[in-house]
């Protein structure tokens, strides 16, 4: 009966209990030793858990030091954002919507082909794209801003860095007046030179290409008005390799290269008839 209380968790556990019940001292020693082992295992588990939590907090702190805006985001939300690092569009969506919530403008930045303009267009309902150049002056840009502010539409100024420094300085004053009117919930406001109506759903976005030849850095007064968002091309080969490792494949590196080559050719030469199948 007493031996049955010991259970049969492991191989031969019941037989060991029957032997130990013959000697009460040995039974008490093994019982206490088993309890000590449980406490040791529990302590080791808590210690490893504390190490993981410490390493995670240190990692999140490095991200907050690199991007100070993450100090306003909880640790759980920050982990969710970082887990989508292979999905730059979703990160851009979050950044741009948060900038609108904070009554700011968005500034996606990255090399060509990363989807800065297309992501902004996908996020809005009616988005007008303007290609900036050195020929634009503050009057033409101001007219665009007045039209956007009165028609509740969004404007995306592509390659905004191509404007001259003089134009950028005046544009900062114009954008600041629109944001201040939205923040104060005004129906009409004084735009530089004219009193116009305001639709609070207006959105102003710019795109930057830091690696482009002739690109200039935004002035400090622009950095306070536009919330930046870095757009990069994901390392698809590394992502594919990690996915294959997680699924249990061996020799994932050559297999990942083959998969990337296959899907790259598939995307470059689409065929409607094949796609339908």
- The pLDDT tens digits for 113-126 are 777 888 888 888 88
pLDDT band, residue 257 (cuts 50/70/90):
confident
In this structure, are residues 93 and 112 in contact, taking their beta carbons and an 8 Å threshold?
no
Alpha-carbon distance 117 to 213, whole Å?
A: 19
In this structure, are residues 260 and 240 in contact, taking their beta carbons and an 8 Å threshold?
yes
Convert the pLDDT of each residue in 48-90 to its tens digit.
888 888 888 888 888 778 777 677 777 777 777 666 655 667 7
Alpha-carbon distance 22 to 16, whole Å?
A: 10
With a cut of 80, say whether residue 24 has pLDDT above it. no
pLDDT at 5: 45
Give the CA diameter of the chain: 101
Which positions ≥6 away from 183 have C-beta within 8 Å? 103
Q: Which of the two residues, 157 and 231, has the higher pLDDT score?
A: 157
Alpha-carbon distance 194 to 66, whole Å?
A: 41
pLDDT band, residue 9 (cuts 50/70/90):
very low
In this structure, are residues 50 and 42 in contact, taking their beta carbons and an 8 Å threshold?
no
In this structure, are residues 225 and 176 in contact, taking their beta carbons and an 8 Å threshold?
yes
Q: Which of the two residues, 189 and 3, has the higher pLDDT score?
A: 189
pLDDT band, residue 259 (cuts 50/70/90):
confident
Q: What is the dihedral of CA 105, 110, 111, 116, to 10 degrees?
A: -50
Burial group, residue 87, by CB count within 10 angstroms (0-12, 13-18, 19+) = exposed
Mean pLDDT value across the chain: 76
pLDDT band, residue 277 (cuts 50/70/90):
very low
pLDDT at 211: 67
The two tokens of residue 201 are: 């759903």
Convert the pLDDT of each residue in 222-252 to its tens digit.
888 888 888 877 677 777 887 888 788 888 8
With a cut of 60, say whether residue 16 has pLDDT above it. no
Convert the pLDDT of each residue in 83-111 to its tens digit.
665 566 777 888 888 888 888 888 888 87
Q: Which of 39-43, 118-122, 128-132 has the lowest average pLDDT?
A: 39-43
Sheet holding 226-231, edge to edge: 127-131, 154-158, 203-206, 105-110, 226-231
Phi-psi region of 249 (alpha: psi -120 to 50; beta: other; left: phi over 0): beta
- Helix extents (H) in 193-246: 220-223, 236-246
- Helix extents (H) in 134-251: 138-151, 165-183, 220-223, 236-246
The two tokens of residue 48 are: 């490893």
Q: Pairing state of beta strands 188-191 and 127-131?
A: unpaired
CA angle centred on 115, ends 113 and 117, rounded to 5°: 110
- CATH fold of 84-231, please? Rossmann fold (3.40.50)
Mean pLDDT of 195-221: 80
155 pairs with which residues across the strands? Answer: 128, 204
Residues in the chain: 277
CA angle centred on 207, ends 202 and 212, rounded to 5°: 165
Please give the C-alpha separations between residue 20 and each of 1, 30, 142, in angstroms, as whole numbers: 14, 8, 91
């Amino acid at each position: 009966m007493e031996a049955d209380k010991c259970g049969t968790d492991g191989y031969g556990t019941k037989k060991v209990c029957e032997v130990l019940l013959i000697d009460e001292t040995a039974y008490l020693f093994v019982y206490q030793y088993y309890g000590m082992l449980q406490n040791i295992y529990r302590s080791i588990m808590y210690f490893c858990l504390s190490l993981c939590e410490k390493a995670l907090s240190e990692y999140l702190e490095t991200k907050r030091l690199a991007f100070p805006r993450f100090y306003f985001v909880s640790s759980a939300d920050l982990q969710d954002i970082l887990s989508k690092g292979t999905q730059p569009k979703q990160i851009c969506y979050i950044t741009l919507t948060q900038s609108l919530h904070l009554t700011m403008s968005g500034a996606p930045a990255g090399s060509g082909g990363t989807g800065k303009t297309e992501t902004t267009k996908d996020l809005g309902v009616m988005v007008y794209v303007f290609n900036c150049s050195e020929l634009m002056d503050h009057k033409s840009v101001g007219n665009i801003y007045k039209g956007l502010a009165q028609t509740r539409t969004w404007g995306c100024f592509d390659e905004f860095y191509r404007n001259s420094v003089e134009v950028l300085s005046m544009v900062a004053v114009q954008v600041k007046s629109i944001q201040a009117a939205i923040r104060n919930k005004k129906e009409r406001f004084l735009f530089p030179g004219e009193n116009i109506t305001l639709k609070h759903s207006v959105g102003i976005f710019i795109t930057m290409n830091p690696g482009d030849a002739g690109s200039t850095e935004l002035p400090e007064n622009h950095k306070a008005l536009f919330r930046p968002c870095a757009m990069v091309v994901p390392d698809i080969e590394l992502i594919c390799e990690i996915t294959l490792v997680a699924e249990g494949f061996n020799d994932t590196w050559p297999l990942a290269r083959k998969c990337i080559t296959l899907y790259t050719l598939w995307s470059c030469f689409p065929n409607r008839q094949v796609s339908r199948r």
